Amino acid sequence: MNSFLPISREDMQKKHIDQLDFVYVIGDAYVDHPSFGPAIISRMLEAHGYSVGIISQPDWKDDKSIAVLGTPRLGFLISGGNMDSMVNHYYVSKKKRQSDAYTPGGVMGKRPDHAVVVYGNLIRRTFKETPIIIGGIEASLRRLAHYDYWSDSFKRSVLLDSGADLISYGMGEKSIVEIADALAGGLPVSDITFIKGTVFKARTEDCFYDEIRLPSYEEMKNDKKQYAVSFKIQYDNTDPFTGKMLVEEYPHNVYVVQNPPQEPLTTEEMDYVYDLPYTRRAHPSYDASGGVPATKEIQFSLISNRGCFGGCSFCALTFHQGRIVQTRSHDSILKEAKQMTCSKDFKGYIHDVGGPTANFRQPSCAKQLKHGVCRNKQCLYPKPCQNMTADHTDYIALLRKLRKLPKVKKVFIRSGIRFDYLLADKNETFFDELIKYHVSGQLKVAPEHICDTVLRRMGKPSNSVFEQFLKKYKQKNDKFHMNQYVVPYLMSSHPGSTLKEAVALAEYIRDLGYMPQQVQDFYPTPSTMSTVMYYTGIDPRDMSSVYVVKNPHEKAMQRALIQYKNPENYDLVKEALRLCHREDLIGFDKKCLIPPRKLKKKGRK
């Protein structure tokens, strides 16, 4: 049976380890499952002969909490967790969340705000010379200067604020092993400047070459337009085949240097990563507190791919996993599925087979693995590229094999379908089988909005594409005598959306006969195109000005319009309609959104 990595001195003694090679400090609970980044990185290092110990959610107010496993031989690793710690802690309203799915028992407050920075400085106070390598989503998306929504400020690279020596950005399996080998070979961490997928600090210009100079931190801090310029350059250099070294200058001759991304994993390499000896569960020390809530979502789900060529403006995948889709083999996925079916808790349902986008099972075109993705062109936006390969054949074959496994009753797809890619496939076999076998009563898709002016800023297809999908979805449900619904994800207050567009969205929802239970306000997270628009008022793609709603009251009105039937939203909806001179939508006609006055509920007898 697979065993967990050491979390205490006693564990080290049982494994006959006097000194660990690496100590990994993480903001989440310790979950040894490949859906959790620290599990992959630590198992990769272990597979290459390095010992790793885990310090999960240390008390950042106690310096001793970071020393419980002693001084590592090669260095400390830090991850803030599977989410940016600020997103983990706060709603878009900046109010504190009540629970943390990545903490035992769902308890909130077990990690600090800006966890990577806090953990880095906590370690550096005690271990003055030990190398510190930071990684994971928080470090990856804050690797260069960035806008921080929660403090409404322009921050330096997290490399400088954390006191770390290196960032391993992106997924990091290749770069972390190269870093470990360099350190084990006696190379000072300050000399590790050559590894793809890393960011390092430099004091002289001798450390970089053939680089692209970004606007300096001071230039960007003083002129938001320069940040938009910088971000566009960064965005154009996220490809491992065409990306250049990027250099960002700071005061006092300090340079933050980003090497090009690590190359995508081959199918064989992906299989290797997911076949490492994970226990595939949370550490048993959490059982008494009720376990880790986030594991319920992944216990019976299968990761089949990573990367996304969808290119949505509000998504950070381009900066973290990249646009080139990487896939596991059928054999690897089936092997994991068979292991699932042996669990005493398995009820016959595989909850998901997918990744960032479930129905991407190959790069968007044949040239990507040799020449990289196009710099100034998207695969699906504004229309599918004529060179794109829209083919679900491999995904169909995989799903059919999973459906035939003993003990499997149903295989669901829940991680999201790109409906524009689905429609681009002339062969409708996958669409048919999706309806017949893989929808659990309702299919969640993400049109996000219906106004083309907003969709353009989002990098999403025009509303006519969604309309085409809805029509075909209904036709196929009728054909197979099924009654399954589409649940559209909708977003309010995205850059480019005024009250006028919000009213148009409300009218569309009215005509659709659908009232969303949940609405996502646009959330400005680090390193997305949309966040840059929010901060600068500029679209980096063409440097055009963008309307941005920042007033909390207007944001509340835009959100309320999407849920106009909710009595609690009446006053906000009425105010918004009057401001837009749309009093025609106030009345008792079937086209009206609200009645002329707030109707009181009748009390119970």
Tokens encoding 74:
């090669």
Q: Could you read off the pLDDT of 22-54 as tens digits, one per residue? A: 999 999 999 999 999 999 999 999 999 999 999
The pLDDT of residue 416 is 86
Share of the chain above pLDDT 70, in %: 99
The pLDDT of residue 325 is 96
**Overall average pLDDT of the 420-442 stretch:** 96
pLDDT-wise least confident of 176-190, 210-224, 507-521:
507-521
Q: Could you read off the pLDDT of 149-169 as tens digits, one per residue? A: 999 999 999 999 999 999 999
Q: Could you read off the pLDDT of 402-423 as tens digits, one per residue? A: 999 999 999 999 988 999 999 9
DSSP state of 185: T
Q: Is 584 exposed, middle or buried (0-12, 13-18, 19+ CB in 10 A)?
A: exposed
Question: With 90 as the cut, is the pLDDT of residue 516 above it?
Answer: no
3-state DSSP of 488-516: EEEEECCCCCCHHHHHHHHHHHHHHCCCC
**Overall average pLDDT of the 211-215 stretch:** 97
Domains of the chain are 9-202 (3.40.50), 300-440 (3.30.750.210), 441-605 (3.30.750.200)
The pLDDT of residue 106 is 97
What's the pLDDT band for 323 if we cut at 50, 70, 90?
very high
pTM score, whole prediction: 0.95
Distance CA 231, CA 541 (A): 9
The pLDDT of residue 602 is 56
The pLDDT of residue 605 is 41
Q: What average pLDDT does the chain have? A: 95
Distance CA 591, CA 518 (A): 23
Distance CA 575, CA 590 (A): 20
H helix count then E strand count, the chain: 23, 24
Residue 333: C-alpha distances to residues 40, 327, 352, 363, 396 (Å): 16, 10, 12, 19, 14
What's the pLDDT band for 1 if we cut at 50, 70, 90?
low
Residue 604: C-alpha distances to residues 300, 565, 566, 597 (Å): 44, 21, 20, 22
**Overall average pLDDT of the 296-304 stretch:** 94
